[in-house]
């Protein structure tokens, strides 16, 4: 019984260290690493066309595309969207689905998208 109480206290202490839930209207930044197989650089025009199209999406606040210097077939895409609902609308938009379908056969590793929120600095 005592062990259960200690485990419960440890779980509660750990839960207190987890960041609070995201505010519903807080911007979301998606940082995506896109690695094409070296012989599939023909997918790069689809990537640049996607960025050009996405830059007109009203849900998107900011978009940037970077190419890795030491591995020119590796790209990082950074997209900041208005909030979680805007992100959900963006990833289900026809042009986003088309882009992901086009580049899928050329990927050398899984599509690696990580969602971020800005950390306030006092």
Going from the C-alpha of 109 to that of each of 34, 38, 51, 61, the distances in angstroms are 8, 11, 20, 27
Residue 30 has pLDDT above 50, yes or no: yes
Task: Give the residue carrying structure tokens 């940037």.
Answer: 64
Tens of pLDDT along 57-109?
A: 999 999 999 999 999 999 999 999 999 999 999 999 999 999 999 999 999 99
Rounded Cα distance, 103 and 95, in Å: 12
Separation of alpha carbons 81 and 61, rounded Å? 5
Does the domain spanning 21-116 belong to CATH 3.30.70.100? yes
How far, CA to CA in Å, does 110 sit from each of 24, 58, 80, 82, 107? 29, 28, 21, 26, 7
Q: Which residues pair with 55 in a beta bridge?
A: none
Task: Name the pTM for this structure.
Answer: 0.78
Give domain limits for the chain. 21-116
């Amino acid at each position: 019984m005592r062990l259960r109480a200690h485990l419960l206290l440890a779980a509660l202490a750990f839960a207190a260290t987890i960041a609070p839930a995201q505010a519903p209207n807080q911007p979301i930044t998606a940082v995506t690493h896109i690695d094409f197989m070296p012989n599939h650089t023909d997918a790069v025009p689809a990537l640049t066309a996607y960025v050009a199209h996405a830059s007109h999406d009203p849900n998107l606040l900011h978009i940037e595309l970077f190419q890795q210097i030491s591995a020119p077939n590796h790209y990082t895409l950074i997209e900041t969207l208005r909030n979680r609902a805007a992100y959900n609308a963006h990833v289900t938009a026809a042009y986003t689905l088309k882009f992901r379908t086009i580049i899928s056969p050329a990927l050398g590793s899984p599509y690696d998208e990580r969602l971020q929120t800005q950390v306030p600095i006092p």
